[in-house]
Structure 1
């Protein structure tokens, strides 16, 4: 491919137009966050085009919000890029996909490019080449990866003019690889949309089973097998419990799917574990639970699922690693346990079960506090403000009222902590 000329001053629009890029079109953690980011930009008066590698459930929601969605295949930076073969494969993918991405960039002539996640460095390179201000929102924190792998994943951020990260833990991981990024980086906690109605304790008859729920990817790193091991321990100890798995196995992980089926067929837990598959509407699942399990075995940069459990007014048991302690900081109904320990997870569930009324009432109070700490409106304003600061283009006619968890609140109400 021929060298890419930069977009000159006459090519770069001064209108309020931003190009947003994201590496997927599903509705897991970072997917939901890019939807909130786009909504924040639209509410602030920006015209938004979103580049996605393909179509999925996220596409329709972005379009409904008012964004113009375009399909642009983009290579994803993975840990394998730290090997010679992986680096060659990535370079080949970049050469193959860069022309289409460059054509979109030239056609849109955005005032800024907002790159969601650090896994698509091609957009950072193209924006820098085009001399368009670029902001990267980091949702990853591979704290357990080898130093070389972390460096490969982090180094492309040197091309970004501004960096947002979703937790202090994620920021620490980033700076451990490239300390010079500190001056251009800041923490923006995720905005997590809660249920429409204020949560209440789950009505439960004395003879009912204790209901546990796991929400998220059915993967080893998310700890689904630890959850199943803990659940089996509870059953074998005579506890009357049931477990619901809300989520799917990543399509490419055939071996994980087979291993999961074998595990679910174990005599002790067969028939006691319910699989609902991926669900956009998680609140009904959380409302039907007594305890939310977040048993990640590798560091989470933030922990949306833990926050959603808190917002649902349910006791949460989460792994004490990565950004999960930040996500449940100050939450009295949450417990942190040793990562990968089925016995610790089971013991924490037993602690809730033995004092369920107290934990449940405490969780309802925690939910009210979490509404304001993780307000989507605060998050949207932070994102829009970061793009405006980067470009020097501001808008003063943002709507006074925005929809929030548990109803609608004005900007002034949110700022003063009123529901």
Structure 2
């Protein structure tokens, strides 16, 4: 099968982009021809927003890729915040089936404006008004990485052609958890406000005070984003520079080592995540997780005994949870073993098989639909 993957960004700037490039390699390994087309980040917020409304530039780029690659199917991901879904109408005219994985619902649902300043609400509403008709009309099938996401798509967006296909982990599951007791706290991901890293920094500052400088833990923040300077300033304000490291972007294999060196992985998102890849990767490496008590992050870890859940935005609760865990190596070890056991279900082969089944059904249906009618 010839599959064209379309995403807002081509570079690996966040979890969605990591997934896009990993699934590209996975599908190629299984014998498919796969190409990727995407956009680039812009330094201008205004220009980026205007482009996200309706982009003739990216519409041409994507349709050129369609002409050159001649795909059987187009597999879309985040197409809301940069390239826009403006290419869907001309793609539909070519008769190419489209699958859209909805990694987050905020860009589609009229009910969701999480943590948006008032000045951003109307621009967000305008973008949804332009995008929703295109997506509802021209997307043939939706993929939801969690049952929560499927429910939201069905009830808040009003589509019913939704399949739940959980994101995979692209590493082999560790045979056992790492050694604990280092006091290392880890965050990996994009540095933007909705990820709640500012909450983690505030909680960690309190943790340092409680544990004392002699036995103080360390916090490693891996990733880049618009909140980087804000977070650096916050670390300076709390006078914890000696205990916090900003690593910047690391490649996928280097990231695996960072998990194995950590006692706890923290995803402090103040929004409902869909199916956060970093939580799954931490579990795959046998690392206990602390995350917020809602959304797809809760769905991933609930009932597995590998995580602690805290209220979103609650730095005190997060700090107390970290304090309790870092002081209890036996609990960390038990949670790590549970994480390894749970991660056995995050198979990339299972993920690929589910995608292939969905794709083949759409391609076969489209071929039958496009058959000429024979005269009697």
Report TM bin, short chain: 0.7 to 0.9
* Alignment pair present for 1:189 and 2:178: no
Return the alpha-carbon distance in structure 2 between the equivalents of residues 48 and 34 of structure 1: 11
Aligned to 1:389: 361
Q: Counterparts in 2 of 1:60-209, with a 5 A limit?
A: 90=52, 94-119=55-80, 120-142=84-106, 144-145=112-113, 148=125, 154-158=132-136, 159-179=138-158, 181-182=159-160, 184-194=161-171, 197-202=174-179, 204=181
Q: CA RMSD in A?
A: 2.8
Give the Å deviation of 1:360: 1.4
CA distance 1:197–1:300, change in 2 (3 Å): closer
Give the Å deviation of 1:150: 5.6
Contact 2:174 2:286 in 1 (8 A): no
Shift of 1:110: 1.9
* Structure 1 residues 139 and 203: CA distance shift in structure 2, 3 A: closer
Q: Structure 1 CA distance, aligned partners of 2:185 and 2:32? A: 42
2:8 to 23, 33, 36: 23
TM-score (norm 1): 0.73
Change (3 A) 1:105 1:278: same
4+ long deviations beyond 4 Å:
88-91, 146-154
Question: CA offset at residue 244 of structure 1?
Answer: 3.0
Is contact 1:211–1:241 with CA below 8 Å preserved after alignment?
no
Q: Which residue of 2 aligns with 1:49?
A: 35
The answer as to whether partners of 2:27 and 2:352 remain within 8 angstroms in 1 is: yes
Task: Summarize the Cα distance change of 1:96–1:23 in structure 2 as closer, same or farther, 3 Å threshold.
Answer: closer
- The 2-side partners of 1:90 and 1:279 are apart by 28
- In structure 2, the residue matched to 1:32 is 18
Give the drift of 1:197: 4.4
Count, aligned residues: 340
CA distance in 1 between counterparts of 2:230 and 2:131 reads 30
1:266/1:289 Cα in 2 relative to 1: closer, same or farther (>3 Å)? same
Higher helix share: 2
CA distance in 2: counterparts of 1:111 and 1:201, whole angstroms: 44
Q: In structure 2, how many angstroms separate the alpha carbons of the residues matched to 1:330 and 1:315? A: 13
Partners of 1:37 and 1:360 in 2: CA distance: 31
Deviates more, 1:221-230 or 1:18-27: 18-27
C-alpha distance in structure 2 between counterparts of 1:335 and 1:167, whole Å? 20
Does the aligned pair in 1 maintain the 2:177–2:336 contact within 8 Å?
A: no
* TM-score, normalisation: structure 2: 0.81
Match of 2:118 in 1: none
Spell out the pairing of 1:369-384 with structure 2 (5 A cutoff).
369-371=342-344, 373-384=345-356
- Contact 1:118–1:154 (8 Å) recurs in 2: no
Residues 1:31 and 1:97: Cα distance change in structure 2 (over 3 Å) = closer
Deviation of 1:163 after TM superposition, in Å, equals: 1.0
Query: Any stretches of 5+ residues in structure 2 without a counterpart?
Result: 114-120, 366-376
Shift of 1:40: 3.9
Tell me by how many angstroms 1:89 deviates.
5.1
The answer as to whether partners of 1:118 and 1:139 remain within 8 angstroms in 2 is no
